[in-house]
A and B are shown apart, each in its own frame.
Chain A
């Protein structure tokens, strides 16, 4: 049975290659969570693949029956402790991400948001600061 299966699989792959639409030939996606932790590193990657789900790529938030607040031009970001606490522990409709993200990922994404989207709070946040708020 094993042999028969392999034969069939090989046939399918060959046919598949010829029939692949253009969109299917872009870079293969990867699992983004392993062992309960987000895999990607760096503030921009964490923002685009996690935070953007609600706050949107442009960080301008969105409004329906309820609102996702904009992070762009948000003066509450001046004190780093505020976003750090929110990311770790969540608040109201925002889930807690303290277990999905490691300290350095939280530090990176908070730094990224505080230095982008018309926010200019240059001092980088450190993993130690994040650890202190857990």
Chain B
């Protein structure tokens, strides 16, 4: 990654560098997926407990020995370990995520239904968080030390608020006490307000802390000074120079934001009784539905790898100085 990668297509050398970069990212991503699948495959076999029991509904189900044997045969759990491992890898590589233990339907079908509602929630929350963080950052840099201290306090507290508590407080306030919004989330706009707010506020707190630091530094930097010397107004300096820098940490943190939104979705979807990836992951974890857990883990690992690749590109676009690094 020592060459500038985004000048792409201008010369064979640069195009070669871009291709190497892309190949490296794809190889790294495949390695991550293989490692996740392998770790879960061997992890579950190192821990006492019979997967066949989970298929039959957990240890409490008192399944007969024949039923357990049948489940083992159905799910290929009676073959030698290495046969199971390689056939599992082969199935995953061909896009077959297996059959959910608890739902008895193909994992890929379940995921296909669950991704859209979670995606709607996460994207809306991300947009709201970005907007909130930017507004607070811009307002506080223009209002002196006191405004800055106030914004900092606000950000620390909102970043420290756990999703589950914020969700409960919002429900108590806006659903129970005021009755303005439903406590259960649907895809209707009113049903999305509370879940989105729950996910967005802590994220905005984190993003705001970094954005404000960067914005303040950019405001004191030589290029801001020279822009002012050229006679640009404070608003001009902000719009044309500083804001670009405030966006950088937001991009760099996108992988982390993805994690925060996904973790938040587990909690938020459970509290607001909203169907989605997070809530299904939780029930899969509780039921020890390994194919389902593997499916969600592989899906989000793949999403993470893609997001990191794009944030890499976006960072270089936003700050040309990064291109050489």
Q: Judge: A and B partners, yes or no.
A: no
Mark B residues whose CB is within 8 Å of A: none
Give chain A's interface residues, CB within 8 Å of chain B.
none
